[in-house]
């Protein structure tokens, strides 16, 4: 009989402990709780931390996170307004502000992440499609580009390296996505805290074309430098030839001046030497004529002269009989 009572007491204690354990639950500092009875929420959400009571066995505790949660979407390809396909990677921060609404519509965090994928992805596509790529990349309107000092002149001449003016910028585009998405996720009891572009890159299919265009631009700059170098080299060669011709012409002029002065001096000396008497003048005239004969007459020369010619004056006085033949000259 005593053993029976002991067993009954033990069973009552075990039942009491199980019942008490099923009726008590704790709420953490970073948690909020929805109590459901047969799958339906009952009462108000429990948002204060501490030890709480519920009906055992028929009521269940559904814990909902109170902390700021992270959403990190997968990169997706989308076109911009200027028809450039880019790969956009976003991240966002959110939290559950209305746990009952959140529980009724989404139940768990996995469903919330899936719904955020749909909403944020859709709003991002809409915003990117309404703006050009430069609006999504740049943040400030008055930014000065960093340029290599060696390429500044070439880039300015080719209108390269200048930043296209923007109207909004990346921050305002992010704000547009945030505003549109925040209204849509609020109905799920979710507050969207922030959204940011994590990475923006060209689509893999157009990336080689972009690289080719960059290479082509650099080649244009290189060709411009090369053409400018060739032009400068041609200018230097032209200046060298001009200076050389100038030096040669100056030297030739000086030579001719010196030669003219020498001829004038020689003529003056001749005039002084042969102008002393009529006999000296006749001798000078004779010697100069003889020199002219040597220059213009050879063995086979035929001259046709008039009797008034100065050259003929000395020829007509020559006695052919007194001129020795070649045989006599050799014998002598």
pLDDT-derived band of residue 326, with 50, 70 and 90 as boundaries? very low
Query: What pLDDT shows up at residue 327?
Result: 46
Predicted confidence at residue 254, as pLDDT, reads: 93
**For 22-36, 258-272, 275-289, which range has the lowest pLDDT when averaged over its residues?**
275-289
Asked if 131 and 170 count as a contact pair (C-beta separation under 8 A), the reply is: no
pLDDT reported for residue 24: 85
Q: For residue 192, count CB atoms less than 10 angstroms from its CB and return exposed for 0-12, middle for 13-18, buried for 19 or more.
A: buried
332 vs 327: CA distance, rounded Å: 9
Return d(Cα 330, Cα 326) in angstroms, integer: 6
Residue 294 has pLDDT above 80, yes or no: no
- Average per-residue pLDDT in the chain? 82
Q: Is the pLDDT of residue 332 over 80?
A: no
CA–CA dist 37, 331 (Å, integer): 164
Say what percent of the chain tops pLDDT 90.
30
Higher-scoring residue by pLDDT: 28, 273: 28
Q: Span 225-249, mean pLDDT?
A: 92
pLDDT at 161 (0 to 100): 53
Q: Are strands 50-53 and 24-27 parallel, antiparallel or unpaired?
A: antiparallel
Nearest one of 137, 135, 121 to 75, comparing CA atoms: 121
Q: CA-CA distance, 92 to 192, in Å (whole number)?
A: 8
Domains and CATH numbers, the chain: 2-65 (no CATH), 69-204 (3.30.479.30), 260-325 (no CATH)
Q: What is the pLDDT of residues 36-88, one digit of tens each?
A: 988 888 888 888 888 888 888 888 888 899 999 999 988 888 888 888 888 89
The pLDDT of residue 323 is 46
DSSP 61: E
- Of 188, 196, 42, the C-alpha closest to 111 is 188
- Report residue 158's pLDDT band, with 50, 70 and 90 as the boundaries: low
Q: Mention every residue, 6+ apart, whose C-beta is less than 8 A from residue 67.
A: 30, 95
Q: Where is average pLDDT lowest: 106-120, 260-274, 288-302?
A: 288-302
Give 127 or 20, the one with higher predicted confidence.
127
- pTM for this predicted structure: 0.57
Residue 149 has pLDDT above 70, yes or no: no
φ/ψ (deg, to 5) at 222: -65, -40
Percent of the chain at pLDDT exceeding 70: 85
**For the chain, what's the residue count?**
332
Q: Is the pLDDT of residue 283 over 60?
A: yes
pLDDT at site 247: 94
In this prediction, residue 330 carries a pLDDT of 44
Q: Which range has highest mean pLDDT (26-35, 146-155, 161-170, 270-279)?
A: 26-35
Please tell me which residue, 305 or 179, carries the higher pLDDT value: 179
pLDDT for 185-199, tens place per residue? 999 999 999 999 999
Is 275 a residue whose pLDDT tops 80?
A: no
Task: Report the relative pairing of strands 31-37 and 50-53 from DSSP bridges.
Answer: unpaired
Does position 331 have pLDDT exceeding 50, yes or no? no
Residue 21 binned pLDDT confidence (cut-offs 50, 70, 90): confident
Instruction: Compare 123 and 312 and report the one with higher pLDDT.
Output: 123
Q: Which two tokens stand for residue 56?
A: 């055992």
Contact predicate 80/129, CB 8 Å:
yes
Work out the average pLDDT over 119-142.
86
């Amino acid at each position: 009989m005593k053993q029976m009572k002991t067993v009954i007491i033990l069973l009552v204690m075990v039942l009491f402990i199980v019942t008490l354990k099923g009726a008590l639950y704790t709420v953490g500092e970073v948690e909020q709780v929805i109590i459901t009875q047969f799958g339906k929420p009952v009462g108000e959400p429990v948002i204060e931390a501490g030890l709480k009571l519920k009906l055992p066995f028929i009521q269940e505790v559904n814990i909902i996170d109170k902390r700021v949660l992270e959403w990190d979407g997968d990169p997706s390809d989308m076109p911009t307004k200027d028809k450039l396909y880019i790969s956009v990677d976003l991240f966002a921060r959110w939290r559950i502000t209305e746990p009952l609404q959140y529980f009724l519509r989404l139940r768990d965090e996995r469903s919330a992440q899936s719904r955020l994928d749909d909403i944020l992805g859709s709003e991002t596509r809409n915003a990117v499609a309404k703006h050009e790529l430069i609006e999504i990349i740049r943040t400030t309107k008055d930014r000065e580009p960093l340029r290599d000092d060696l390429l500044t002149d070439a880039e300015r001449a080719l209108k390269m390296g200048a930043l296209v003016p923007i109207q909004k910028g990346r921050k305002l585009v992010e704000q547009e996505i945030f505003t549109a998405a925040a209204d849509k996720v609020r109905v799920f009891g979710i507050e969207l805290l922030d959204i940011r572009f994590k990475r923006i890159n060209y689509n893999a299919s157009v990336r080689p074309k972009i690289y080719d265009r960059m290479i082509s631009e650099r080649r244009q700059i290189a060709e411009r430098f090369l053409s400018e170098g060739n032009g400068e080299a041609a200018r230097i060669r032209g200046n060298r030839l001009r200076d050389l011709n100038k030096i040669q012409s100056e030297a030739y002029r000086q030579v001719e001046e010196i030669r003219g002065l020498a001829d004038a001096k020689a003529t003056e000396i001749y005039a002084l030497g042969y102008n002393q008497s009529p006999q000296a003048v006749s001798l000078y005239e004779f010697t100069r004529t003889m020199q002219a004969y040597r220059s213009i007459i050879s063995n086979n020369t035929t001259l046709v002269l008039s009797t008034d010619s100065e050259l003929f004056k000395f020829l007509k006085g020559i006695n052919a009989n007194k001129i020795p033949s070649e045989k006599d000259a050799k014998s002598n």
